[in-house]
Structure 1
Amino acid sequence: MASLNVYSVLVVLFLTCGAAMAMRENDQIIKENNCETKMGLPCVLEAFTSIFETGSISNKCCAKLVVLGKVCHSALVKRTLENPQLKDLIPATIIAKNIQTWNNCLALIYSPSPSA
Structure 2
Amino acid sequence: MASLNIYSILVVLFLTCGAVMAMKENDQIIKENTCETKIGLPCVLEAFTSIFNTGSISNKCCGELVVLGKVCHSALVKRTLENPLFKDLNPATIIAKSI
Residues 51-78 of structure 1: CA deviation (Å, up to 9, x unaligned): 1111111000000000000000000000
Instruction: Measure how far apart 1:11 and its partner are.
Output: 0.3
1:58 alignment counterpart: 58
Distance 1:61 1:21 in 2: 31
Distance 1:7 1:52 in 2: 38
Distance 1:47 1:38 in 2: 14
1:9 alignment counterpart: 9
Distance 2:57 2:7 in 1: 47
Distance 2:13 2:22 in 1: 14
User: Aligned AA for 1:93?
Assistant: T
Instruction: Measure how far apart 1:92 and its partner are.
Output: 0.7
For the pair 1:67 / 2:78, whether they are aligned, the reply is no
For the pair 1:27 / 2:27, whether they are aligned, the reply is yes
Moved over 4 A (4+): none
User: Aligned AA for 1:46?
Assistant: E
TM-align CA RMSD: 0.5
TM score, norm. by length of structure 1: 0.84
SS for the counterpart of 2:25 is helix
User: Aligned AA for 1:52?
Assistant: F
Q: Number of residues paired by the alignment?
A: 99
Identity of aligned residues (%): 87
User: Aligned AA for 2:54?
Assistant: T
1:76 alignment counterpart: 76
SS for the counterpart of 1:88 is coil
